[in-house]
Every structure is written in C-alpha cells, then in structure tokens.
Chain A
Amino acid sequence: MKINSESLSQFEDALAKRSGEAYVLRLYVSGATPRSTEAIAKIKNICEEYLSGHYDLEVIDIYQQPQLAVQEHIVAAPTLVKESPGKLRRMIGNLSNTRLILQRLGVSS
C-alpha cells in the first residue's frame, strides 16, 4: 500500500477545514533584510487571501531570538513553519512561489 504524500496533506487539509482548526504559522526571518520583508509581506498576503479568519502568524527574528530557532530546529532564514493543522512542515528559502506554498500548507488553490 502506497501512501501518497499529496493525498495525505489533502486529507489533513480537509480535516482542518472540517474541524475549523486554525493554521498556526511561524515565519523565521533574519532582521529586516529585503528578503525578510518580502517574505513577511508575501505570507501575510497569502494568509489574508486563503486563510482569512483562521490563521495565526508569528514572525520571529532569529537575530533577536536565536534560541527559539534552535529549539524549533530551524537552521536557515527565511523559513516558514506550519505547526498545525496536521504534521509540522517547514518551507525553506524562496517563498515567492504562491502555488507551492499553498500546496505545502495543504490549502487547495
């Protein structure tokens, strides 16, 4: 029996929607670099557009709280962490691809 990761996330997504569970997201950035500000703006837009009303986005500066990053096994910034619903997923580096992000978050576009 083969389990497709895509189908799994779809399942989780459906589960979240059904339960009305909020998306808990953390965005790890490094200060106010252009990439950081760009990432923050991008993720906020996506959240507002697709997850409006049921998301919780926290932006963490790894310069200010490196210990948090270490605890969460974050090795690079920017990194977007989806803590819930479903399994924890990390998206590292380029956050410009909206479709890919939505897919990772388990949000059907």
Chain B
Amino acid sequence: MAAKVKTDHELLEEIQALRIQLQEAEETLDAIRHGEIDALVVNGPEGEQVFTLQGADHPYRLMVETMREGAVTVGLDGTIVYCNQSFAELLGIALERLLGTAISLYVANQDAATLAALLEDGKRDSVKAEIRLKSETEVLVPVSISTSSQQMDQLPAVCLVVTDLTEHQHNEELRVSEKLAKALHEQSELSLAREQEARSEAENANRIKDEFLATVSHELRNPLNAILGWSSILRSRKTNKAQGAHGLEVIERNARIQLKLIEDLLDVSRIESGKLAFSLGELDVVALIETAVEAAQPAAAARQIQLKWNAGNECAIVLGDAGRLQQVVGNLLSNALKFTPAGGKVDVEIGIQLGNVVITVADSGEGISAEFLPFVFDRFRQADASAKRLHGGLGLGLAVVRHLVELHRGHVTADSLGIGRGARFTVTLPLTTVQNNKTVNAVISNAELMAVSTEHKSSLLDGLKILVLDDDPDAREFLQILLTNNGAQVKAVATASEAYSEVQGEVPDILICDIGLPDEDGYEFIRGIRSLTGSSSANIPALALTAFALPNDRKKALIAGYQDHLTKPVESHELLNSVASIVRRNDPLPKSNLT
C-alpha cells in the first residue's frame, strides 16, 4: 500500500490557498469588529438568510419607524409579523401586543372581506383599497392600504402601507367649516345690515311719531281756537241773533271735529293695545252703507261734491260690529271728500265676489302718488305732513279703517292712477254663513268694561241674583260692576259669615266665591252651604274664583261642591260665560237670554 505523496508544489499550493482563506477569515472578523460590515449571509437549515448588522439598515429602519404611515408585514396565515409604531398608534394598541396576532382583529367587521381580498391579491400584485380599521376603543379609523408582496422564509407575505385618512377627512371637515364660517360671516354682515335697516326704520317711525304729535297738537288747537274765540264773543253779548246762531254753529262744528279727532286717537290706542271693543252681529251691509252715505251727504253738498251711492240689487249680510263697520265706510267717505276738490265726485258701490262683499269708494280727487301708496294705511302717515299742508286731520282715519276691516277678517286696498287722477278704496268682507248667531260676545277687557256696558245694554245675565264672596275690595268692586252691567242683581260680601246670613234671606241664583278667605276658606264655606239640609240654599250653584291655579286646586274646588273653578285673573267673557252656563245647567227655565 503506497500512500499518495504530495509533491512540494502541491503542498505549496494548498498552503497558499489556506493562507488566503485564513486571511479572508481574519479580514472578515476584522471588518465585523470595525463595523465595516452591513450584513451577513448565512446558509442555515432554513436556507439562505441575510442578517443585517446593527446600524447598517439604520436609514431604512428610521424611515419605516418614523414615517407617519403604518407599515405592516402580514404572514401567509394573516398574522402580523412586523408592524411599525405608527400602525400601533393608529390602533391605539401597544406594538408588542399586535405582533403575532391576526390583522383581521383590527378591521371593521364590514370591511373584513375587503381585507381578505386585499391580502390574497397582495401576494401577487400591488393592490390598494380603502377600509376602516377598528381601534382598541372601537373607534373606526378610515385608512388607505397599499400592498406589496414579499418572500419571507420562502413563503409569500404581504407588506402593507397604511395611510390614515382621518386627517384627510379632517381637512375636508376643516374646508367645510371654513365654508360655514364664511357663510356665517356673510350672514352676520347681512343681519348687521338688517339691523341697521331696522334701526333706520325705527328712527323713521320715531320721526313720523314726532310729526304726528306736532300734527295732533295743531289739529286739536285749531278747533279750540274757534271755540274759545266764539265763546268769548258770545259771552260779551254784543252779537245779534244771526251772529249768535252762526257762532254756536261754528262752536258745535269745531267741537265735533275735535270729538272725531279724539275718537280716532282713542281707537288707535285701543287698536294698538288690542283692546278695541266690538260686538258681532249679522249686519245688512247695504243698509249700513246707506246710513253712512246719508250722514256724509251734508258735508259733500257743502263742498259741492257729487256723492253717489249705487246700491244695486245686492243683499249682503256680514258678521260684524255695526258701529265699527259704519265707521269704516264713514272714514273712507270723509277721506274721499277731503281730497276731492269742489265739483268733483265720489262714487260708492257694492258687489258680491266669491263669497265676499266688495265695497268701493272712488273719488275724482287728488289721487295718491305711487311712492305714498304703500304707506297709505300706516298710522300717523300723511302724504304731506308739512306745516303748509292743505288738509287737516291726523292721518289716522285710514289706519283705523284697515284695523277695523282686518278685525272683521276682511281686507282693504287702495289704488290710484297717480296724482290728480283720483283714488279708489276697496273693502272686502267675508259674507256670513252663520245664520243663528244673534249675539256673539267678543273679548271685553276690564278697562273697557264700563264703556262697553253703557254702549251695549247687555242683558246676558238679565235679572240673575248673584252673591259674590271675596275679601279683596277691588275684586268685589270689579265683579259687582261687571255682573251688574250685564244685567245681574249683585250682592257682594267680604266674609263667609256675611255670606251665610245673606243666603238665609233671599236665596241667590248663583254664588261666586273666592277661596283664600280670612275666617273660613272657600272650601269650608261651600261645604257649609251644601250641608244646610232641608234648606233651598243647599243647592245654590257656585263658582270658585281663585288665584290658586294648580290643576289640583280645581279638583279640590269641584270636590268641595263648586260647579266650576276659574283662576284669577279672569277674562270678563270667561266669567260671564261660566256664570251663564252654570245657571243654565242648573235651571231648566233659564233666566238668561242665552238660548
């Protein structure tokens, strides 16, 4: 057996190769020690692997770790192999808790299918989708995800770059709110302009009121001048009979002018405070106009104006207040006469249109300028408020007309072809459909109680005997006046004991009681009355009138024995209606005329 003996040359070669290998190995170690190496390649049991040495991939790492986008590597089975801090922050979940978990856990349920498709397609192509991630607090975060495929341990994996769209949406929102802010700004500028407009309107209204006051003062003083002047002349008794008669006529005419002015003023004030009293009834408009025209004829004749009334064949019945509607026609007529020169004419007509009665008052007078036409019904407005104006009056007549017509659910319009071409006023009132509504009582305010009751001899409670029990003298007085004026015989007392003695005498038809009383309250009092067994007084109907206004108070009053319960302050008509209905209910043959 002869061993193969290497030649010197062969040995030298081998040594040389080994030296080089050794040198390379030493160089590699040196390079590693000196940090000159970026990465090492290892062929281990899992195949080739590249190990990046610390610091070598710093720029990449930095990029991936610091970028605002989330970066995620998802393995074949859908688990998160790697993710950066941004992704963890996006979900609000600590990074170490994310690694190794399924990415599907962090996606909105509705987007699960989209994600699955994204991961599947992402193994082959670079794809992109918008989905919503689900944060730890279940907040949905809209994101855009783009994928890139990669090999990881020779298995496909998908890299995801996740862009938060919240900010994008936030920017969108910012844009919207900027728009909104701009709109608001414009709005506020607009309202500022409106406010300025309103202010100038208010200033204008103030100016008009000032003008009006000056006019009132002037208009009231003028007739006074004539009245006082002629009064002193008559007192001097240096006048003959004819002069005396003329003087008295002047005084009377001026007094009437003043009366009319004052009535207009009072009407305006009542209209403004919503306390205009009127009672509704069925009215024949034709007869009403006829009366008004007849009343205006003397004035027309005096001014040499031809006042014509064309009644036609119409029969128009409206629901309204006769006095007020006559006032409407009267005001329109006096307005027409005032602005029509001698030799002119005024025509009054009536017609029926679509369930309405239409009254027109047309004149051949001065007419109305187009500028003034819209304001013709405004109170205190006069086309010419200057001191040298031709026409007297307060400029209230037409304002009163409009209010009265509107109170009758009608409307009034004015038109004119212009200055010098006459004017026409048209009043439209709804024809009545109610047939058996003889007296409808409108709201009567306390302040006007007396005026109303003297004007309209109301007999709502005709002959009714009423006993009022109230410790407050003002309340007693009010009730006494209201009820008396409506036809009742009223006795008013302040205490329960007085009331007891009253009912022992003449039994009243109804009791009206206050509840808060000094000696015995209204509940005890009515229980006392109801317990008067065997006496006719036990069944007197009673009305509780009290400032106790809780629902329970009403119940208490009814249980105690009252038929009705009203709370103070009470509207007059409410009280009257209650009294009337209690009495009617209680009495098969009512004494009131409400049937």
Q: How large is the interface on A (under 10, 10 to 19, 20 to 34, 35 or more residues)?
A: 20 to 34
> Is the beta-carbon distance between A35 and B38 smaller than 8 angstroms?
yes
Q: Is the CB of A75 within 8 A of B12?
A: no
Is B41 touching A77 in the complex (CB atoms < 8 A)? yes
Selecting from B46-54, B410-418, B476-484, the interface stretch reads: B46-54
In contact, A33 and B31 (Cβ under 8 angstroms): no
The interface centre, meaning the residue of B28, B37, B40, B56 with most chain A CB atoms within 10 A of its CB, is B37
Q: Is A59 an interface residue (CB 8 A)?
A: no
Selected from A30, A32, A74, A92, the residue in CB contact (under 8 A) with B52 is: A30
Contact between chains at B50 and A63 (CB < 8 Å): yes
CB of A3 within 8 A of CB of B16, answer: yes
Question: B12, A3: Cβ atoms under 8 Å?
Answer: yes
* A67 at interface by CB-CB < 8 Å: yes
Produce 1/0 per residue, B33-46, CB < 8 A to A: 01011111111000
Stretch at the interface among B19-27, B109-117, B238-246: B19-27
For chain B, the bracket of interface size reads 20 to 34
Q: Is the CB of A93 within 8 A of B28?
A: yes
Contact A75 B34, beta carbon cutoff 8 Å:
no
Closest Cβ neighbor of B15 among chain A residues: A3
Q: Does B30 contact A (CB under 8 A)?
A: yes
Q: Which of A66, A69, A76, A91 has the most CB of B within 10 A?
A: A76
A98: chain B residues at CB < 8 Å are none
Is A35 in contact with B56, judged by CB distance below 8 angstroms? yes
In the complex, what residues of B have CB within 8 A of residue A34's CB? Answer: 59
Q: Closest approach, in angstroms, between the C-beta of A12 and any C-beta of chain B?
A: 12
Residue contact B24 to A62, C-beta cutoff 8 Å? no
Q: Contact check: which of B38, B40, B42, B47 meets A36 at CB < 8 Å?
A: B38
List residues of A (13-40) whose CB comes within 8 Å of B's CBs.
Answer: 29-36
Residues of chain A lying within 8 A (CB to CB) of residue B56 = 30, 33, 35
Kindly identify, within residues 468 to 516 of chain B, every residue whose CB is under 8 Å from any CB belonging to chain A: none
Q: Does B14 contact A (CB under 8 A)?
A: no
Q: Which residue of B lies closest to A96 (CB)?
A: B36
With A3-B16, A30-B56, A31-B57 as given contacts, are A66 and B41 in contact (CB-CB < 8 Å)?
A: yes
Partner of B38, one of A66, A70, A75, A78: A78
Interface residues of A in 23-73 (CB under 8 A from B): 29-36, 62-63, 66-67, 69-70
Chain A residues contacting B37 (CB-CB under 8 Å) are 76-78, 92-93
**A33 with B41: CB separation less than 8 A:** no
Complex Cα gap A36–B24 (Å): 19
Q: Which residues of A contact B34 (CB under 8 A)?
A: 93-94
Would A90 and B24 count as touching, CB distance under 8 A?
A: yes
Complex: A62 Cα to B40 Cα, angstroms: 9
B:43-102 near A, CB below 8 Å: 43, 47-50, 52, 56-60
Q: Does the CB pair A62–B41 fall under 8 Å? A: yes
Residue from B16, B38, B43, B49 within 8 A of A77 (CB atoms): B38
B105 within 8 A of A: no
Contacting pair B49 A66 (CB below 8 A): yes
Instruction: Give Cα A20 to B56, complex, Å.
Output: 38
Which of B31, B39, B48, B57 meets A70, CB within 8 Å?
A: B48
Measured CA separation A90–B57 after assembly (Å): 23
Interface status of A89 (Cβ within 8 A of chain B)? yes
Q: A3-B16, A67-B48 are in contact. Are A62 and B39 (CB under 8 A)?
A: yes
Q: Chain A residues with Cβ under 8 A from B48's Cβ?
A: 66-67, 69-70
Contacts of A109 in B (CB 8 A): none
Q: Which residue of A33, A75, A94 contacts B40 across the interface (Cβ within 8 Å)?
A: A75
| Residue pair A5, B59 in contact (C-beta under 8 Å) | no
Instruction: Please give the distance in Å from A102's CB to the nearest CB on chain B.
Output: 16
Contact indicator B41/A76 (Cβ below 8 Å): yes
Residues of A within 8 A of B59 (CB): 32-34
A89 to chain B, nearest CB (A): 7
Q: Give B567 Cβ to nearest chain A Cβ, in Å.
A: 91
- Which chain A positions have C-beta within 8 A of B259? none
Chain A residues whose C-beta falls within 8 Å of the C-beta of B41 in the assembled complex: 62, 66, 69-70, 74-77
Chain B hits for A89, CB < 8 A: 20
A69 vs B51: C-alpha distance when bound (angstroms): 13
Q: Does B139 contact A (CB under 8 A)?
A: no
Among A30, A67, A92, the residue within 8 A (CB) of B27 is A92
- Taking CB as reference atom, which chain B residue is nearest A87? B20
Cβ of B32 under 8 Å from chain A? yes
Contacts of B47 in A (CB 8 A): 67
A50 to B447, CA, bound (A): 122
Closest to B26 in A: A92
Cα A92 to Cα B48 with chains together (Å): 19
Within the complex, the shortest CB–CB distance from B155 to chain A, in Å, comes to 15
Question: What A residues does B27 contact at CB under 8 A?
Answer: 91-93
21 A-B pairs (CB sep. < 8 Å): A5-B19, A30-B38, A30-B39, A33-B58, A35-B36, A62-B41, A62-B50, A66-B41, A66-B49, A69-B41, A70-B48, A76-B31, A87-B20, A90-B24, A91-B27, A92-B24, A93-B32, A93-B36, A93-B37, A94-B34, A94-B36
> Which 8 pairs of residues, A with B, have the shortest CB-CB distance?
A93-B31, A93-B36, A30-B39, A66-B48, A30-B38, A69-B41, A70-B43, A94-B36
Sample of 5 further A-B pairs with CB below 8 A, known A69-B41, A89-B20: A1-B12, A33-B56, A62-B50, A76-B37, A76-B41
